[in-house]
Amino acid sequence: MMGLWLLLLLHLHLGNAPRTEDVCVSLPAPSSISISSFNMEHTLSFLPGPGTPPETHFTVQIIHHRKNSWRPVTGCLELRAGQTCNLTRVFKDLYDHYRARVQAYTPTQTSNWTLSAWFLPLSDTVLGPPDVTVSGCGNCLTVQLRVPTKELPQNLQLKDLYKRIIFRVQRTRDGAQFTLTLDYEEENVITYLQSGVEYCVSVSATGSVSSNPVYSKPYCAFTSPPSTKSSCTLYVVLGLAGVFCMLGFLIIGLLIYGGQMSLKLPIHLTRRLSYILIQGQKRGSTRPELSGPFSASQLHETGSASCLLTAHSPVEAVNSSEVEEEDCGLVPN
């Protein structure tokens, strides 16, 4: 009796699912099914089989390793050709293996299912490079890394997946480069560099399973001498103090020297001026105006210009009366 009821129920159930009975399997199956994953966001993409009619829809189902039954993916039941299916929410367990399949359908036809490869979220996701800040610290570079905050299932954060960081360091001047692999830390110091030289750093992250490295763009900085803010201001203060000291000495020196100078001024000044004037004449340049008043006074003191002709006979080219008069002042009487 129970067996009969079950048969009846089964019949009714099948009757309500027209696709399995009435729809014929004649559409081309989708192709190129792949699941790509970046920073734990999983996306399924596929291509319609050749000759697929334009009004065709596609549906996606998933299965995971531990439960052996296919189930439909909400939001991916009526896809169009070219659309993708977001599997982030359905691949909940990072440590499980998943598989997806896609079927094309129209109201009257379906295709066979096409299967994806097995997918393990933890190892198949590609970790993007973290945000990078580089600054100099003498003969080293400080590299700050920051992984975007992102909640994952199972109480994990995205940054919990970052295990190792590869640093690619390149000297800007000649392009010489090396790579360095360190455990993931937010603050890293790359040592043994030349100081005062520019380097560029690209980083790449790997999780527990290494994948193809995706490098960040290069971030460049000079390895400047170590200068924290406090020592910097100290240098400035010391420097200013030094400058003021020197200025003080200079002024005192000038005052003392000036005091001595004022006694010797006439003889020093005239000797100097005459030298300038003779040099000026020899080079054929114009004579400085400054000489005027001094020469006039000298003329009065020496009285005559004729003494010059004997005193400085070799300088025959000098025919200016003013120069002669000045030189006269130097001639010992």
Ligand X SMILES: *[C@@H]1O[C@H](CO)[C@@H](O)[C@H](O)[C@H]1NC(C)=O
Which residues contact ligand X by CB under 6 A? 25-26, 28-29, 41, 86, 88-89, 111-112
Beta strand extents in the chain (DSSP E only): 24-27, 31-38, 41-47, 57-64, 67-72, 85-86, 98-105, 109-111, 114-115, 131-136, 141-146, 151-152, 156-157, 164-171, 177-183, 187-190, 198-206, 219-222
Q: What CA–CA distance (Å, rounded) separates 255 from 210?
A: 77
Nearer to ligand X, 88 or 297 (CB): 88
Backbone angles phi, psi at 30, to 5 degrees: -60, 160
With b for 16 or more beta-carbon neighbours within 10 A and e for fewer, the 195-231 pattern comes to eeeebbbbbbbbbeeeeebeebebbebebeeeeeeee
Nearest to 143 by CA among 85, 202, 91: 202
Nearer to ligand X, 49 or 218 (CB): 49
CA 181-126-101 angle, to 5 degrees, is 155
Nearer to ligand X, 89 or 146 (CB): 89
Q: What's the min distance (Å) between Cβ of 39 and ligand X?
A: 10
Nearer to ligand X, 58 or 294 (CB): 58
Nearer to ligand X, 40 or 328 (CB): 40
Q: What's the min distance (Å) between Cβ of 196 and ligand X?
A: 45
CA 291-292-295 angle, to 5 degrees, is 80
Alpha helices by DSSP H, listed for 199-287, are 229-282
Q: What's the min distance (Å) between Cβ of 29 and ligand X?
A: 5
Q: What's the min distance (Å) between Cβ of 232 and ligand X?
A: 45
With b for 16 or more beta-carbon neighbours within 10 A and e for fewer, the 19-34 pattern comes to eeeebeeebbbbeebe
Nearer to ligand X, 41 or 185 (CB): 41
Q: What's the min distance (Å) between Cβ of 150 and ligand X?
A: 9
Q: What's the min distance (Å) between Cβ of 157 and ligand X?
A: 14
* Residues 145/131, Cβ–Cβ less than 8 Å: yes
Beta bridge partners of 173: none
Nearer to ligand X, 151 or 187 (CB): 151
Q: What's the min distance (Å) between Cβ of 41 and ligand X?
A: 5
Beta bridge partners of 171: 199
Nearer to ligand X, 98 or 199 (CB): 98
Q: What's the min distance (Å) between Cβ of 28 and ligand X?
A: 6
Nearer to ligand X, 89 or 173 (CB): 89
Task: Please report where in the chains the tokens 């090396």 appear, as a residue.
Answer: 178
Nearest to 190 by CA among 173, 174, 171: 171
Q: What's the min distance (Å) between Cβ of 84 and ligand X?
A: 7
